Chains A and B, each alone.
Chain A
Amino acid sequence: MGVNPAPPAGPPDPPPPADLSVPGFISPLQSALPDAVTQVSYWVGDWTMIVATNRLLDVMRHLRTAQEASFDACCDVTATDWPPRAERFDVSYALFSTRHRHRVRVKVRVADSQAVPSVTSVWPSANWLEREVFDMFGIPFDGHPDLRRILMPDEWQGHPQRKDYPLEGPGEMLLENPMDWLRLRYEP
């Protein structure tokens, strides 16, 4: 068995291909809230907008209410952990419009223990989803009505989906620095 490679910092978001037309709701959003969307990218079949964390709520309200967007369902909220990065978490929101039948992914990047504004005021369904992200990644959500653990027991320590959380559980090492686990795993 070879040595594990260094922990990845995540693939760069690819720009949309030139021959693809940008969906109609993106440019009104960019003109209504300039500098809120830092990047528009296109993964295989999915449009993704990377948004500044402090403008997230404005963007989401716009996407919910604007006629041409009307994203009335928050399909999913989840996160990905890229430990080497300073802003190590990608929090991504999958939105869907039952009226226009289109979807988009909105992403914010946050550092460890940096709070993300909660979108529960925009979509009630985000309630449990944000609780799950909080439980699994330890990302706090500002303005969430009931931010408790949801899948793990209330008294649990640590956040299991973080990359530095060992698969077999923290065991006796629980109170030590979790970044040590990452070093053990990735260094020869």
Chain B
Amino acid sequence: MTVNMGPQHPSTHGVLRLILELSGETVISADATIGFLHTGIEKTAEQKKWQQVIPLVERMDYLGPQSNSLGFILSVERLMGIESKIPERVRHIRVLIAELQRISSHLVWLGTHALEIGAVSVMMYCFRERELLLNVNEMLAGFRMFPSYLRIGGLREDLPPDFHETVDAFLERFPSKLTEYENLLTKNQIWMKRTRGVGVLSKEDTIAYSLVGPLARAVGISYDVRRAFPYLGYETYEFDVPTRTHGDVYDRYLVRIEEMRQSVRIAKQALQRITPRGVFDIQDYRIVPPPKDKVYTEMEGLIQHFLIYSQGFTVPPGEAYVPIEGPRGEHGFYIVSDGSNRPYRIKSRPPGLYACQAVPKMIEGGMIADVIAVIGSTDVVMGDVDR
């Protein structure tokens, strides 16, 4: 029997369509169709100035928006050759934001994943903690979902007052809450029966499908971009890369839970290194807007202000790709510049696309009821897949 699942199915994390060939309750073969959320962000970005692309790319992976913009910014900064001029403080703030973003994204994943398998209450708890992280975003930029706080050459503005206290309170509170979620799930018989041995992908297949990130770490590939190709000074932070060996839905769950613990660890170290007030951009006013007191009092500042907001800045011709470890795995932007003030081409490497491609492989031979569990465990965000 052929069953069409999606694109409007509530458990497909957006609009993923699966065509399942069934024999009884067993999935014989599956075919995934994507593209229902294609918005042409890469094409639109070619018409925007470099700085204007940031809000666009944040809307790709809408659960980890600042990971998108971080990947884009790092590529642009490398191509401009200003990577080494970014102040230490800005790097630590970026690390802190990236790790909070990872926690926030994993919380949505955990909540929805558990909800789909049947543990409804976990979602309420996860969204309670995520709310606190959205509050941090609101403090930073006044925008809860897509703050656009990270900018090429630094940050939008300095940290708000009480930032340290708020983040510190969250980091103190969160580990105990994580234990609370684990008490609900990790040893739960129903959870284990639904997830152990389900959706297994072998190590060879994982590499063949180019899956990196939590899905690869669940089969024992200890590849983490933060370790292999350190950016933003991750080599100076202490953290572990959790790995498991079975590669089933349960192991992916355990890997992500442990990743949240490690993120808290990194975030605490980063928070200690950040001074409450200080320099927040590279202070090269051809790239970042000059401070307002200069704009109002100095001729030069006014000119720079107008240049930034009317023409933007140019990026030397060339291409760059800086991978980062996003919540879903290796994420990055391949950017091409022709030397003008607009990108010539940007291409996101969406980790979700690779996961979607591997979903049929994971669900073939399993039960139809497990399809939901497998899709949930890959943590795909269709905005990221279709762009």
Of the listed stretches A15-23, A39-47, A52-60, A173-181, chain B binds A39-47
Interface presence of A151 (CB below 8 A): yes
Q: What's the Cα separation between A94 and B348 when bound, in Å?
A: 12
The contact size tier of chain A is: 35 or more
Interface presence of A98 (CB below 8 A): yes
Q: Are A94 and B47 in contact (CB under 8 A)?
A: no
Q: Are A124 and B209 in contact (CB under 8 A)?
A: yes
**Which residues on B are within 8 Å of A, measured CB to CB?**
34-35, 38, 40, 42-44, 46-47, 78-79, 81, 207-210, 212, 221, 223, 228-229, 317-322, 330, 334, 336, 338-340, 344-345, 347, 349, 353-354, 356-357, 386-387
Residues 110-163 of A contacting B (Cβ, < 8 Å): 123-125, 127-129, 149-153, 160-161
Q: Are A44 and B78 in contact (CB under 8 A)?
A: yes
With A80-B345, A151-B386, A152-B38 already in contact, the answer to whether A44 and B320 are too (CB < 8 A) is yes
Q: Are B79 and A98 in contact (CB under 8 A)?
A: no
B320 / chain A contacts, CB cutoff of 8 Å: 43-46
Q: Are A10 and B338 in contact (CB under 8 A)?
A: yes
With A78-B347, A98-B223, A101-B228 already in contact, the answer to whether A11 and B357 are too (CB < 8 A) is no
With A123-B208, A125-B210, A127-B357 already in contact, the answer to whether A160 and B318 are too (CB < 8 A) is no
Q: Are A161 and B38 in contact (CB under 8 A)?
A: no
With A11-B338, A128-B353, A161-B42 already in contact, the answer to whether A44 and B79 are too (CB < 8 A) is yes
14 extra A-B contacts, CB within 8 A, seeds A75-B330, A78-B334, A98-B212: A43-B319, A44-B79, A45-B78, A73-B210, A75-B349, A76-B349, A78-B347, A92-B334, A94-B321, A101-B229, A123-B208, A124-B209, A161-B43, A167-B47
Q: Are A5 and B340 in contact (CB under 8 A)?
A: yes
Q: Are A8 and B208 in contact (CB under 8 A)?
A: no
Interface presence of A37 (CB below 8 A): no
Q: What's the Cα separation between A96 and B228 when bound, in Å?
A: 12
29 contacts between A and B (CB under 8 A): A8-B317, A8-B338, A11-B339, A14-B318, A43-B319, A43-B320, A44-B78, A44-B81, A44-B318, A45-B78, A46-B321, A73-B207, A75-B210, A80-B336, A80-B344, A92-B334, A94-B334, A94-B349, A98-B207, A98-B221, A123-B210, A124-B208, A125-B209, A128-B354, A129-B353, A150-B34, A151-B386, A161-B43, A167-B44
B34 / chain A contacts, CB cutoff of 8 Å: 150-151
The 9 closest A-B pairs by CB, nearest first: A11-B317, A125-B210, A151-B35, A8-B338, A151-B38, A73-B210, A78-B347, A124-B208, A80-B345
A68 / chain B contacts, CB cutoff of 8 Å: none
Interface presence of A106 (CB below 8 A): no
| A-B interface contact total, Cβ < 8 Å | 94
B334 / chain A contacts, CB cutoff of 8 Å: 76, 78, 92, 94
B79 / chain A contacts, CB cutoff of 8 Å: 44
Partner of B210, one of A43, A74, A101: A74
Q: What's the Cα separation between A130 and B354 when bound, in Å?
A: 12
A43 / chain B contacts, CB cutoff of 8 Å: 318-320
A10 / chain B contacts, CB cutoff of 8 Å: 338
Q: What's the Cα separation between A11 and B40 when bound, in Å?
A: 25
Chain B residue with the shortest CB-CB distance to A153: B35
Partner of A152, one of B35, B44, B318, B321: B35
Chain A residue with the shortest CB-CB distance to B33: A150
Chain B residue with the shortest CB-CB distance to A146: B31
Tell me the smallest distance from the CB of A171 to a CB of chain B, in Å.
Answer: 15
B221 / chain A contacts, CB cutoff of 8 Å: 98
A5 / chain B contacts, CB cutoff of 8 Å: 340
Q: What's the Cα separation between A149 and B386 when bound, in Å?
A: 12
Q: What's the Cα separation between A161 and B345 when bound, in Å?
A: 9
B322 / chain A contacts, CB cutoff of 8 Å: 45
A73 / chain B contacts, CB cutoff of 8 Å: 207, 210, 212
Most chain A beta-carbon contacts within 10 A, residue among B319, B334, B339 = B319
Q: What's the Cα separation between A150 and B387 when bound, in Å?
A: 12
B208 / chain A contacts, CB cutoff of 8 Å: 72, 123-125
Chain A residue with the shortest CB-CB distance to B353: A128
Q: What's the Cα separation between A94 and B387 when bound, in Å?
A: 19
Q: What's the Cα separation between A46 and B81 when bound, in Å?
A: 14
